[in-house]
Amino acid sequence: MANALNLKVAAAAPIIELDAVVTVLGGRQIHNGVSFSVRPGEVLALIGGSGVGKSVLLREIIGLLKPTDGRVRLFGESVWEITAGQMQALRKRFGVLFQDGALFSSLTAEQNIAAPLREHTSLPSLECLKLARLKLSLVGLPPDAAGKRPSELSGGMRKRVALARALALDPELLFLDEPTSGLDPISARAFDHLIRLLSDSLGLTVFLVTHDLDTLFSIIDRVIVLSDGKVLGDGTVETLKTIDDPWLRDYFAARADRGN
Amino acid sequence: MAAASLTFDADHASLCAAGAWVIHTPVAPELPPLANAPVRILDGAAITALDTGGAWKLLDTLHQAGDISRLEYRNFSPQHLAILNLVARHYPATLAPLNPRADGLLAQIGRGTQALIRNLVGLVNFVGRLVFELLTLARRPGHFRWQELGAQVQAVFVNAIPISAAMIFLLGVVFAYLMGVEAQKYGANLFVVDGVAAAVCRELSPVIVAILVAGRSGAAMTAQLGTMKVTEEIDAITTLGLSPYSVLVVPRLIALIIALPLLVFVGDVAGLLGGMVVAGRQLDISYRMFFDRLDDILKLKTVLVGLGKAPVFALFIGMIACRMGLAAERDARSVGENTTSTVVQSIVAVILLNAVFAIIFVHLDI
């Protein structure tokens, strides 16, 4: 089945395409020609040591930060060359889960999820709230979480609400910035499986930045390793293990040390 | 993309959904009239696109017509069927009643009273804690944060000199000008000096500068302490064995108490200069005459009354600002609300205190 999936995936045009992205921030060279592409339906992880610019790259892909040089394409359109109106249309096609959730603290959970629906669809507000309830249930939250404010929710619940908000507009592409950081192992694994379930049943493409080895081993189709401003490795977890690089060796050894 | 539609096929007793059932569908199709025969089948062969929003809309439309749990899905593509099944499983969650009823008047009054009591208790706690910390600090003066005090004096006093001077200068100009227009009619030009001196030194400069500092530094303090609370910096200070009161609150309070009288003095000078400029231009009072007259009529007492009010204003502004900052909850909304509240409370406090001072000074015959 994995093969069939890969064949289907290989045929389609890339949904994200980076071409020789160079980033210089504050005089420091962060990326020195990063190129890769993501095909529809893939669940892809971006890994790398602290400070190699994973989050910066994510911000460049979603149009929050302009790369110094190179090109970023989303759904075939060059993010930094299209008009503001076209970018606005693109934004409706992807959802982003920020590291700490970034929920609006003045709104309740369901209002947070309904916010993009209100802005970008013509649905009446009652239906927006009902759809928000549906998304809450989809991410596995009990109905009584709907009326709570972010400050009244636990960290894991906040992440789920944020995921529901990212899914509100039924995007084709989902960006997750360290989705399992700050969660206990049980919640983290449950969150992983939720992401995989949603990506399988909704046909989502998922691009996630992570440090979590368990996430890599359980739900990821393909991994991209960022090191020294370049792509060091690109492939399944198994192929990455064969790459001879001190950081990667230590990274995978961290799991072996735990006796898994 | 073809619009979403629903048709009823009487021959097969089935409903046929077609087109793109997606969240961006502008108008959801109406349920067609059903014959009396029970509908058993939902045919999805003609659906071109389906997402969770569209699937929910489809299920919701069917739900309006009756029980959907026994409907058989037929001819859906595997991808669409997966989405439809997923949404169908979670559909009951969207049936829960929405919008809990709004509070009645009585409940709102009750909540308001509770908030007021909480606020007062918090204020008493704050003042008590502050006095305790001050006493502790008095016993061990080595623990005082001189560096923080310096930084705060810089922020509250030095950086506020230009704006304070400019504001009171303009007030002096306007005051002298308007008074001059009247005084000229009676040939009482010189008395404008008396008026400007008394008004600027005794009332205008202390009150306006205090209001300025409340809006400028008071708001900044609340926002800063509130944000530190959000980012758990206050908790970190506590767990390091330090007291947020002695590290943060006391230096700010003392900085304000030092800064406000100095700013009022800057304001006095600027206001008198403003009056002097207008007197020279409009009333033919030379700078020399202005100074001579000022020397005759401006008593030290008048200036001291104005300067003496300033530390009291500063104490209240600082206490309100720090308390509201520390009382912020851990979200952005609360920081915003408390910052607003600081400015409002401080300005009200300044104006009330000024009225109290006016009465006291009259009774003391100052």
Q: Which of A134, A167, A202 sits opposite B94 (nearest CB)?
A: A134
State the pLDDT confidence band at B190, using cuts at 50, 70 and 90. confident
User: Cα distance from B8 to chain A (closest Cα, Å)?
Assistant: 25
In this prediction, the answer to ipTM > 0.95 reads: no
- Angle between helix axes B78-90 and A185-202 (nearest 10 degrees) is 130
Residue range(s) in chain B whose domain bears CATH number 3.30.750:
5-95
Nearest to A55 by CA among A83, A92, A30, A19: A30
CATH number of A2-93+171-257: 3.40.50.300
| B64 in reach of chain A (CB within 8 A) | no
CA distance A91 to A120: 10
pLDDT of residue B44: 75
Residue A234, C-beta contacts closer than 8 angstroms, at least 6 positions apart: A36, A222, A223, A224, A225
Question: HSE-up of B166 (CA within 13 Å, CB side)?
Answer: 6
Residues of B within 8 A of A135 (CB-CB) are 52
Question: Burial of A102 by CB count in 10 Å (0-12 exposed, 13-18 middle, 19+ buried)?
Answer: middle
pLDDT, tens digit, 9 for 90 and up, residues B158-178: 999 999 999 999 999 999 999
User: Percent of chain A, pLDDT > 90?
Assistant: 0
How is chain A split into domains, by residue range?
2-93+171-257, 104-170
Classified by CATH at the fold level, domain B5-95 comes out as Transcription Regulator spoIIAA (3.30.750)
User: Cα distance from A168 to chain B (closest Cα, Å)?
Assistant: 8
Find tokens 């100095």 and name the residue.
B262
Contact state of B91 with A134 under an 8 Å Cβ cutoff: yes
Q: Report the range of poorest mean pLDDT among A92-96, B55-59, B132-136, B227-231.
A: B55-59
| B106 in reach of chain A (CB within 8 A) | no
Residue A69, C-beta contacts closer than 8 angstroms, at least 6 positions apart: A20, A21, A22
| B93 in reach of chain A (CB within 8 A) | yes
Interface size A-B, in CB pairs within 8 Å, comes to: 74
User: In terms of pLDDT, which residue wins out, B111 or A180?
Assistant: B111
Residues of A within 8 A of B98 (CB-CB) are 126, 129-130, 133
> What's the pTM?
0.70
Q: Which of A133, A150, A170 sits opposite B96 (nearest CB)?
A: A133
pLDDT of residue B37: 59
Q: Which of A131, A149, A151 sits opposite B53 (nearest CB)?
A: A131
> What average pLDDT does this structure show over B134-139?
88
Nearest to B175 by CA among B193, B160, B187: B193
DSSP string of B302-318, one letter each residue: HHHHHHHHHHHHHHHHH
pLDDT, tens digit, 9 for 90 and up, residues B323-350: 999 998 888 888 999 999 999 999 999 9
CA distances from B32 to A117, A127, B35, B62 (A): 27, 21, 10, 10
Contact A152, A169 (CB under 8 A): no
- Angle (nearest 5°) at CA A85 between A119 and B49: 65
Chain A interface disruption, residue of B94, B227, B340, most A CBs within 10 A:
B94
Q: Is the dihedral of CA A144, A149, A152, A157 positive or negative?
A: positive
pLDDT of residue A257: 62
pLDDT of residue B35: 55
Q: Which of B82, B100, B330 sits opposite A151 (nearest CB)?
A: B330
| B100 in reach of chain A (CB within 8 A) | yes
Q: For A58-121, list the strands marked E by DSSP.
A: 69-74, 77-78, 94-97
